[in-house]
Amino acid sequence: MEFTETFKQTGPCAFSPNARFLAVAVDYRLVIRDVLTLKVVQLFSCLDKISYIEWALDSEYILCGLFKKPMIQAWSLAHPEWTCKIDEGPAGISYARWSPDSRHILTTSDFQLRLTVWSLLNTACIHVQWPKHGSKGVSFTKDGKFAAICTRRDCKDYVNLLSCYTWEIMGVFAVDTLDLSDIQWSPDDSAIVIWDSILEYKVLIYSPDGRCLSKYQAYESGLGVKSVSWSPCSQFLAVGSYDQMIRVLNHLTWKVFAEFTHLSVVRGPCAAAVFKEVDEPLQLDMSELSLSDEFGHRNADNAVETYIQVRYDVMDIPITLPSQKPPADKPNPKQGIGFMSWSNDSQYICTRNDSMPSVLWIWDVQRLELASILIQKDPIRAAVWDPTFPRLVLCTGSSNLYMWTPSGAYCINVPFPQFSVLDLKWNSDGSCLLLRDKELFCCAALPLLQESSDYSSDE
């Protein structure tokens, strides 16, 4: 694995959808870098510190959320002199997003008073009253033709279907929820999934014309749905619950065909490979190292010093996984499936049970079995799939990267002193990986998947 040098950042970073540019927030400045060389190609100055950035789908425009102000600024890469500023005045702005046509910006005001569609082509703006949420409750079809926007009025939840060409309301239908949590179009645009708040276990599948295709409830009298995720192929819908299980529904009958349980003790029979991160002390004779060696500086008496690197040990089953019991007297308990992510080919799904924050589970959906378990020393901060291969990379805030493929798991040291990997992002073509520290970032180029078997824990 090859790493670039480090660069400064103080906020969000994002690759452009066309995989050519990297946008980096540095206080008030928006720095646009070329992905191949990381040279600065554009520099924009905003009116306040940047809290949020998002590329338009055509990669020509980019917006910056200055939520402390609050306002939105948008910039054009093709025409650097062009700029756009959106200020809702006393209504404020809690969130902003691009429309699929890359020529409209949708903003949500504070207290969800209204959602506004702003046009970059003219001065027209359209309002949708009483959006349900700020950053959630809006979903676009993959073909970019329609937007589903959740609203609430008279103590009831509704879905407004809007055309992304004219922004006219094509239809409104009420949904059978007590307190709607979020909404997602399926990747093939054939169905809409809606789920209720954590107090009511309810998953609803609707057709685009508002017909309820299915209603799913796994149990009653308990905390309900925590996470929902469509597979990229649209054939599977994974539902993560507070009972530490994920249930996978199929797209033909909307019935559960797989249930995966996250228990603190894993017993046989089980074909999964269990990898545990362990320390591997290295004893180095400092008298034989020059000051330029990457291991560190020579000490005063040239003694032998011990350095620590990490590797994975393969563990036997049965095994007890590290877990923590959430306190019963506090809200928002850290339990249940809080994270799920599908591989690009829809064969694997990785999950994390929040009561076991340092354990990552990888399930093989085609074989309906557990494929692997990764046990880390520290809580997992991010786990991202390669967008082109079934390869997973994760970080825990340490100076290491951790990678899993169907052939095994590997620990990779980041060759920068005091660099802690806090977040990860893949470029859309899988060519490189963005690594973020608290104030720095770098990029890493990974070899092709067939070469991954050459990795070892000391890379």
Q: How large is the average pLDDT for residues 189-216?
A: 96
**Which range, of 5-19, 330-344, 436-450, averages the lowest pLDDT?**
436-450
Over range 89-97, report the average pLDDT. 93
pLDDT at 61 > cutoff 90: yes
Q: Is the pLDDT of residue 370 over 50?
A: yes
pLDDT of 439 > 70? The answer is yes
The pLDDT of residue 291 is above 90: no
> What's the fold here for domain 1-87?
Thrombin, subunit H (2.40.10)
**HSE of 286 in the Cβ direction (CA atoms, 13 Å)?**
13
Distance CA 396, CA 398 (A): 5
Given a cut of 50, is residue 428 above it in pLDDT?
Answer: yes
The answer to whether residues 358 and 376 touch, using CB atoms and an 8 Å cutoff, is yes
Q: How far apart are the first and last CA of the chain?
A: 8
Least confident of 17-26, 83-92, 161-170, 275-284: 275-284
Residue 358 C-beta-side C-alpha neighbours within 13 Å: 16
Dihedral over alpha carbons 395, 397, 400, 406 (to 10 degrees): -20
pLDDT tier at 449, thresholds 50, 70, 90: low
- What is the pLDDT of the chain when averaged over all its residues? 91
Please check whether the two domains, 1-87 and 92-217, share a CATH topology.
no
Phi, psi of 168 (to 5 degrees): -85, 150
Give the per-residue pLDDT at 36.
94
Model confidence at 333, pLDDT cuts 50, 70, 90, reads confident
Kind of pairing between the strands at 273-285 and 369-375: parallel
Confidence at residue 283, expressed as pLDDT on a 0 to 100 scale? 63
Average pLDDT over residues 378-390: 96
Most confident of 60-74, 305-319, 322-336: 60-74
Q: What is the pLDDT of residue 299?
A: 44
Does residue 284 surpass a pLDDT of 80?
Answer: no
Whether residue 455 has pLDDT greater than 60: no
Query: Does this model's pTM top 0.85?
Result: yes
pLDDT at 306: 60
Model confidence at 304: pLDDT above 70: no
**pLDDT given for residue 292 in this prediction:** 42
Quick one: pLDDT band at residue 422, thresholds 50, 70, 90?
Answer: very high
| HSE-up (13 A, CA, CB side) for residue 361 | 29
Among all chains, which residue has been given the structure tokens 């959320």?
Answer: 65
Cis peptide bond prior to 70, omega within 30° of 0:
yes
Residues 6+ apart with CB under 8 A from 252: none
For residue 178, the model assigns a pLDDT of 96
CB contact set of 201 (below 8 Å; sequence gap of 6+): 217, 218, 219, 220, 222, 224, 225, 241
Please give the full DSSP string across 54-99, using - where no structure is assigned. Answer: EE-TTSSEEEEEETTTTEEEEEESS-TT-EEEE--GGG--SEEEE-
Distances (CA, A) of 300 to 286, 293, 308: 10, 16, 20
Q: Each residue of 240-269: pLDDT tens digit? A: 999 999 999 999 999 999 999 999 999 988
Kindly list the domain boundaries of the chain, sorted by start residue.
Answer: 1-87, 92-217
**Judging by beta carbons within 10 Å of its beta carbon (0-12, 13-18, 19+), is residue 116 exposed, middle or buried?**
buried
**In sequence order, what DSSP letters do the residues of 138-205 get, joined into one string?**
EEE-TTSSEEEEEEEETTEEEEEEEETTT--EEEEEE-S-SS--EEEE-TTSS-EEEE--TTS--EEE
Counting residues of the chain whose pLDDT is more than 90, the rounded percentage is 84
Which helix or strand (DSSP H or E) is residue 368 part of? Answer: none
More confident of the two residues 309 and 167: 167
pLDDT in tens, 153-184: 999 999 999 999 999 999 999 999 999 999 99
Q: Fold for domain 92-217?
A: Methylamine Dehydrogenase; Chain H (2.130.10)
